[in-house]
Amino acid sequence: WVSAADGRIKGWDWDAHDENGFAELMNRNEWFDIDAGDAQGQANGYASRTGVKVVTANEELNEFFFPGFIDTHIHAPQYPNAGLFGSSTLLDWLDTYTFPVESGFGTLPDRKTGHQTTTDPQDTPLHAQQIYSQVIARTLSHGTTCASYFATIHIPATNALASLCHTRGQRAFIGRVCMDNPSFCPDYYRDHSASDSTTATRHTIEYIHALDPEGKLVKPIVTPRFAPSCSKPALQSLADLAAAYTPPLHIQTHISENPNEVELVKEVFPEADSYTGVYDMYGLLTPRTILAHAVHLSAQERALIRARDAKISHCPASNSALGSGVCPVRTLLDEGITVGLGTDVSGGYSPSILEAVRQACLASRLLGHTAAWKRENVNGEEKGGVGREMLSVAESLYLATRGGAAVVDMARDVGGFEVGMLWDVQLIQLGGVKGEGSPLDGGAGDGRVSLVRAGPIGNVDLFGTESWEEKIEKWVWSGDDRNVKAVWVGGRLVHTRG
């Protein structure tokens, strides 16, 4: 039962699909009232419910509700490049693939002044609007109910992304990317000063606050791209900007993704004792900060992140695709750091968090073979030996839901099914079991399938012998968006499978 008033879970009825005709009310995406005097309500012994919606899962078709996925790190404008990275690694990938695609989201400069004077999302190029619409539709179709987006440096397009999320009903954090360091960023795609970076960010914050004053669905997030792309004054003023709001704004950036990047940070910031130290020095390491990747952190850096209660977005598909390394997630978790999953499109090739779940499991299984992990186990034997690095399917799904919810500071509202939480949910359908004599075949035993719905859906083949745990494992290893039948955000139906 979902409440119309606030889109939150009101209660559960585990046998709501019983024989008594109540099924008629099911799966209607309308709000309605069932009072105690209502014949059906009485017949079922339900208490009075007003302004509720009933949503049901059909167990015969192996349907189940799962909390919506939370993508804690995704670059919306990079979606056209998903799957395109060749054999590049981070720093040349940025120059070859990423800055060119992002730079296409700008407006034409004012003919007289040469400046981009507009903040109106209508001034976003049509192709940018189309790409942003497509990213939202695709991520929703994969069950992502909440995403923390990096946009580009452009104000109108960033505002357009916020508007589109708001209209389509996807929960989102929207970050205008800041990058003003001329020795790192190309002239054709950068902010021209620290104050440009900050002022432009403020414009997008104001726009988003006007769009969604209570931040019910869409919120701004301050987004210095990463340390090497930002001048020191920009890092400082962006931290000050985030801190100037009540409550302080969220912050997102990248950290310690690739060994050459870590070296570069040492060169550019000799005054800091580590990459993490750079962000801390400028006040960017807060309990509302999302740090993407965190592959090559030292023990001291992890301790600092823990002390500041900053959060980590683990992006395993991207880390493998760009050859960045293997993130020691087990160590992060053991040390008490909050971790969620990110697709990192298009360092990551897929907009699917289910793919990230699978890749998190796989990467963890390879970690024991890396030199860094072997060293860690020699030095820290008490932690347990090889094998402790492995993430189970359940742990990885936790990172995709409750972990992500904690990363975006919404653990009380999303990521689970407690009464009072928001109905941010995907309805997964694995399909029926086909076979002679199966009740779903009509039971005639004549080899004819009498109900079309009897077959499996997508790649998940079930044989009728699986426990629910095993069905979930099969979903994780072989499922995809074909298994996502419907998606709701805050009680609003935002996607149904075509």
- Categorise residue 142: left if φ over 0, alpha if ψ from -120 to 50, beta otherwise: alpha
| DSSP category for residue 157 | H
Provide the 10 A C-beta neighbour count for residue 443.
11
Task: Tell me whether residue 80 is exposed, middle or buried, using C-beta atoms within 10 angstroms of its C-beta: 0 to 12, 13 to 18, 19 or more.
Answer: middle
Distance CA 56, CA 42 (A): 19
Q: Which of residues 70-89 bind ligand GUN (CB under 6 A)?
A: 75
Binding positions for ligand GUN, 256-285, rule CB under 6 A: 257
Select from ligand GUN, Fe ion, none the partner in contact with residue 68, using the beta carbon and a kind-dependent cut-off of 5 to 8 Å. Answer: none
- Enumerate residues 94-153 that contact ligand GUN by CB under 6 A: 94, 98
From 15-23, 32-40, 90-98, 122-130, give the range in contact with ligand GUN by CB under 6 A.
Answer: 90-98
Based on CB atoms, which residue is closest to ligand GUN, 98 or 338? 98
Span 86-145, contacts to Fe ion by CB under 5 A = none
In the complex, least distance from residue 190 CB atom to ligand GUN, rounded to whole angstroms: 12
Q: Which does 320 bind (CB under 5 to 8 A by kind): ligand GUN, Fe ion, none?
A: none
Alpha-carbon distance of 21 to 394, in angstroms, equals 36
Q: Tell how far CA 240 is from the center of its chain.
A: 26
Q: Sketch the per residue contact string, 298 through 327, with ligand GUN: x for CB under 6 A, - otherwise.
A: --------------------x---------
Q: Does 71 bind Fe ion (CB under 5 A)?
A: no
- Judged by beta carbon, residue 186 or residue 439, the one nearer ligand GUN is 186
Among Fe ion, ligand GUN, none, partner that 98 touches (CB below 5 to 8 angstroms by kind): ligand GUN
Tell me whether residue 81 or residue 107 sits nearer to Fe ion (CB atom): 81
Q: Does 344 bind ligand GUN (CB under 6 A)?
A: yes
- 49 sits near ligand GUN (criterion: CB under 6 A): no
Can you tell me which of 77, 169, 224, 347 binds ligand GUN, judged by CB under 6 A? 347
Report in angstroms how near the CB of residue 91 gets to ligand GUN at its nearest: 9
The answer to the question of residue 184 lying near ligand GUN (CB under 6 A) is no
**HSE of 484 in the Cβ direction (CA atoms, 13 Å)?**
27
- Integer Cα distance of 173 and 216 in angstroms: 11
Cβ 60 to Fe ion, closest distance in Å?
41
**For residue 428, which phi and psi values (nearest 5 degrees)?**
-95, 135
- Per CB under 6 A, does 225 bind ligand GUN? yes
Decide: helix, strand or coil at residue 489. strand
Q: Report the residue from 63, 344, 389, 424 that binds Fe ion according to the rule CB under 5 A.
A: 344
- The one-character DSSP state at 15 is T
Residue 225's binding partner among Fe ion, ligand GUN, none (Cβ under 5 to 8 angstroms by kind) is ligand GUN
Contacts of 222 (CB under 8 A, 6+ apart): 175, 178, 201, 205, 238, 239, 241, 242, 249, 250, 251, 252
Distance CA 327, CA 316 (A): 8
Peptide bond into 48 cis (omega under 30): no
Radius of gyration of the chain (CA): 24
Residues in the site for Fe ion, rule: CB under 5 A?
Answer: 344
Residues in the site for ligand GUN, rule: CB under 6 A?
Answer: 75, 90, 94, 98, 225-226, 254, 257, 318, 344, 347
